[in-house]
Structure 1
Amino acid sequence: MWQELYRLAYRYLISLGLAREDAEDLAQETMVAACLHLDGVQPGKLQAWIIAVARHKFIDWLRRAGRGVSLLYLPDAEPDEATGGPEERALREEGRQEIMAALNRLEPTERMLLVLKYNMGLKGEEIAAYMKMKPNTVKVKLYRARQRFKAEYNRILEGRK
């Protein structure tokens, strides 16, 4: 269980744009906080709570680094440098940049919903708990965010032609 929660916090922090080393450090800090305050977590909301703690650790890290708090950073899949040749890696990177450009055109709430759903793998109820929304509201907003993402992504692809 603890390893899964650590991986969840780590993936979330990576998705915010942190370097691996910083994400590892903050994920460890998140787990320490989890150990100290686990008794106050409502049943069934542990994953959403871990992400909230990781986000707070990230905000504290930004403040300590003097970078200000300009959330939301966007997901950036970890590079898979070990597979494929240079051309394949370049194509993957180009695709990643196009996805990031499309995400950057969305509203912060839409980006956060997509990150929590597709990057973090959270369920609708967990997202609702984290975002302090009703589950049905999450469903509707996720649907709209997906539609806007598709439209923005298609615009980027059309502009590439």
Structure 2
Amino acid sequence: MASIDRRATFERIIHAHQRGVWRYLRFIGCSRSEADDLTQETFLAAWKSEFEEINEAATAGYLRTVAKSRFLMMLRSKGRRPKETEFAEVDADWVQLVEYDEGWDERADALEECMQHVQGKAREVIDLNYRVGLRYAEIGQRMGMKSEGVRTLMKRVIAKLRECMERKLEWPAE
């Protein structure tokens, strides 16, 4: 019974933190495919370590540490040796950006409101890319579109979402 509880807890942790780990890996320099792979490796390593959750912030910090470790191992295997001091600065920037940014919720609410205006094929493409995690070619296959068409549609939708966000949050237009 304990293993079922552990599995359910870990599934919840994955659901809650997967995007954050992926974004962190992209922030520190991973390509999309590297971030995909290293995100999986991060959660696998956390599972194998029998990690136990204390609270959300501690969990996020632990997962960032594991992700960074996996990223550094990948770089070393490719013969690249980044300076550890670079990562200390990056980590500090990330924490400030994500954890101490009081506007985060405001932006999330604005994005949610803007997303309500995205419908039809455009909404489906956005959901398949960002919620399901499919690549343009996979989305194109599902929707009977070429990957270039998916990319173009995504660019248009993202531009409209940016305009909507700028209006709602009173950002200066770029």
Per residue, is there more helix in 1 or in 2?
2
Normalised by the length of structure 1, the TM-score is 0.40
Bigger Rg, structure 1 or 2: 2
- Higher relative contact order (CA closer than 8 Å, sequence separation 6+): 1
